[in-house]
Structure 1
Amino acid sequence: MAAPRSSARGSAKATAIPQVSWRSPRPAPIVLVSGPEEVCAERAIAGVRDYLRAEDAALEVSDVRADDYAAGTLLSLTSPSLFGEPRLVRVAGVEKCSDAFLQEAIAYLNHPQEGATVILRHTGATVRGKKLLDALRAGTGGGVEIACPAIKRDDEKVNFATGEFRAANKRIAPTALRALVSAFADDVTELAAACQQLINDVDGDVTDDVVTKYYGGRVEVSAFVVADTAIAGQYGAALVALRHALASGADPVPMVAAFAMKLRTMARVAGSREPSRQLAQRLGMKDWQVDRAKRDLVGWNERSLGLAIQATARADAEVKGGARDPIFALERMVTVVATRAPFGA
């Protein structure tokens, strides 16, 4: 059977150890928590601790810095105690580890202690500790890996927030989800906190009105609010939303990017008669993204969609330095998209 591949972005290296989701972590003698996304790593590490503590409340938890390591610490903390309590050792900073830690950790892989779980946190910021990671990923030590790749793209943030609500069995309207994500697009940690606040505070489904009530000041300046309004053909409302967003400090570049992302999705879906689920699988999208694009396409045709895409491409070049007045470039783009006609027609 072929070895599974790491789920970390950009990694094509085969690995012999199981890959475990950070949303459903489980213990093993060695748990490698890899990747730069700290909010996911924190969830994974806390999840392993909670799993072990649920099995035995007497769990002993110790923290170690791999870059400020005293020789013999790892073996001392993992060795069985007098009463045999389970042990959890959380090791931070493996990407900056000392030679002493690296030597002892590699040796530990060959003789992990019974009843002990060691979590190795490596952000991937450096290649330091590569020999240790390679040995672990080759299967030495009987470990698992929990990959926490960076969440940067808009679709990744949407998927993250979707997972937050799904894990809590809480429904959120697609438009409310998009508004929430765009309101916290600059900080995944803040996005996670916002999701958890809505999950904990709101009885029933999370609607557009709920998101506006909690985060209206941020949602109103969302680039996606402007894009959704323009794509819906609401010209006057789109211009008002644009001016409000700009007055609130919105950056023209991500504004254009929001338009481009939505129009690209519409173009990919346009003309297809496949069921949403089948089309989503073929395009590598979510079912709800296909459904939303189909709704957005009402009233559009090949000509108007082409005009909108061209206007967005022009605005993208202009807001990135191709013109002296980026605000006019945005207004022209919004006009073409909202009216579905050439500028000035």
Structure 2
Amino acid sequence: MNESSALPQLVLITGPERVLAQRALSHVLEALGSSHPDAEVIRLDALEYEPGRLTMDLSPSLFGGHRVVVVRDLVEATDPLVDELSDVLKHPLDDAHLVVLHKGGNRAKRVLDAMKKAKAHVIEAPAMKSDRDKSAFITNEFRIARRKITPEAVRALLEAAGKDTSELAAACKQLVDDTTGVVDENVVATYHSGKVEATGFRVADAAIAGNAPEALRLLRHAFASGLDPVPVVAVLASQLRQVAKVATAGGGRSAELAKQLGMPPWQIDRARGASRGWDGVRLGRAIQTVAAADFAVKGGGRDPQYAVEHAVLEICKQRHAPPERG
């Protein structure tokens, strides 16, 4: 999107991922600004829209000049804005561009259909929900900056800042701006060690490896940092399921299994390593233990933190139990 001439007068940015949508908008405005440096950018908030404003802003000015009208949060649009947009889209714009942002869904569908019918340029901003999506996002952030980040560092950064995409993007930018060379797990730990230790991922890693003292130390640190027992149990369950899934998937290259199982390649490698020393029976027992802890931390028990500690110790016990023989 380097040449503004490649952009039609109508641009639709659709999808719930705010970081991607904002970046798309920035790229569009930058592209338009390259050929219209004096263009006036007018931003309209759909929720606070004043009837008649859109029509006025898109009307040719007596003084000339190009206008770029940005309509944010179309999903919140009132009927007057939907009606005005629908009318505007029936005719070519005069020395103006219209950029509309929509978070997704069927709200204001009449406008969406009209924009697509008018051959609007559509930019997707899909939600990044899975670890695979977020891992790809991190890797791409460093690729754009012409920097390298190791798979272990990707995972550590995901653990430290992966809940919120905006925070994840900011963490990537900080590492790009403040460091040189390849970013590895140690570099991430320098900037985010407190956050990483306070997550359930480190607890799960230690428990699945059978390291009870370390698992308990990390767990108590996480609780002292204010982490709720519920997400810790969720991570324990998720990590055990990943180990079981990878262990039963057979051999093959990590990249191939990643596509088959919907997991990032680095997650496949870690799960493979974690699966050594486990068998199906003991994994099943560990998963059942975590299921009981899940019930306890969601109201079924008196002491949620004790329930998690018990689950962690039981996982470690199963890791060191003699293998089941048929």
- Give the alignment's TM-score, normalised by structure 2: 0.85
- The equivalences for 1:310-325 within 5 A come to 310-325=288-303
The corresponding residue for 1:6 is: none
Which residue number corresponds to residue 208 of structure 2? 231
| Alpha-carbon separation, structure 2, partners of 1:218 and 1:331 | 20
1:78, 1:219 → 2: CA distance?
53
- 1:174-233 superposed Cα distances (whole Å, 9 cap, x missing partner): 333222222224433222211111122111122222112112222220111111222233
1:45, distance to aligned residue in structure 2 (A): 0.8
- Between 1:215-224 and 1:176-185, the stretch displaced more is 176-185
Partner of 1:107: 87
2:109 corresponds to: 130
Alpha-carbon distance, 1:75 to partner: 6.0
Pair 55,89 (structure 1): closer, same or farther in 2 beyond 3 Å: same
Q: Which residue of 1 aligns with 2:284?
A: 306
Which of 242, 258, 278 lines up with 2:235 in the alignment? 258
Matched to 1:261, the amino acid is S
Task: Note the C-alpha offset of 1:38.
Answer: 2.1
Distance 1:55 1:314 in 2: 62
Counterpart residue number, 1:118: 98
C-alpha distance in 2, partners of 1:27/1:291?
42
Counterpart CA distance in 2 for 1:207 and 1:78 is 54
Partner of 2:74: 94
| Cα distance change on mapping 1:113 and 1:317 into 2, 3 Å | same
Residue 14 of structure 1 corresponds to which residue in structure 2?
none
Give the corresponding residue for 2:324.
none
CA contact (8 A) 1:109 1:141 kept: yes
SS at match of 1:281: helix
Aligned partners of 2:96 and 2:320: how far apart in 1? 67
Identity of aligned residues (%): 41
SS at match of 1:145: strand
CA contact (8 A) 2:44 2:71 kept: yes
Deviations 1:18-48 (A, max 9, x none): xx9xxxxx84322222233322221111121
What's the CA shift string for 1:222-277, capped at 9, x where partnerless? 11111122223322111111111111111111111111112212211114112222
Equivalence map 1:1-345=2 (5 Å):
27-66=7-46, 67-71=48-52, 73-74=54-55, 76-77=57-58, 79=60, 87-113=67-93, 116-124=96-104, 127-136=106-115, 139-271=116-248, 272-339=250-317, 340-341=319-320
Contact 1:239–1:334 under 8 Å retained in 2 = yes
Counterpart of 2:89 in 1: which secondary structure?
Answer: helix
Higher helix share: 2
Tell me, yes or no, if the aligned pair for 2:70 and 2:98 is still in contact at 8 Å: yes
Residue-by-residue CA offset, 1:91-117 (whole Å, 9 max, x unaligned): 123223233322221122232326533
Query: Conserved in 2, the CA contact under 8 Å of 1:34 and 1:121?
Result: yes
Q: What do you get for the CA RMSD once the two structures are aligned?
A: 2.7
Q: How many residues align?
A: 314
- Compared CA separation, residues 55 and 238, structure 1 to 2 (3 A): farther
Q: Structure 2 vs 1, CA of residues 108 and 287 (structure 1 numbering), >3 Å: closer, same or farther?
A: same
Contact 1:39 1:188 in 2 (8 A): yes
Distance 1:251 1:43, change over 3 A: same
Q: Are the equivalent residues in 1 in contact too, given 2:132–2:262 (CA < 8 A)? A: no
Residue 331 of structure 1: how far off its partner (Å): 1.4
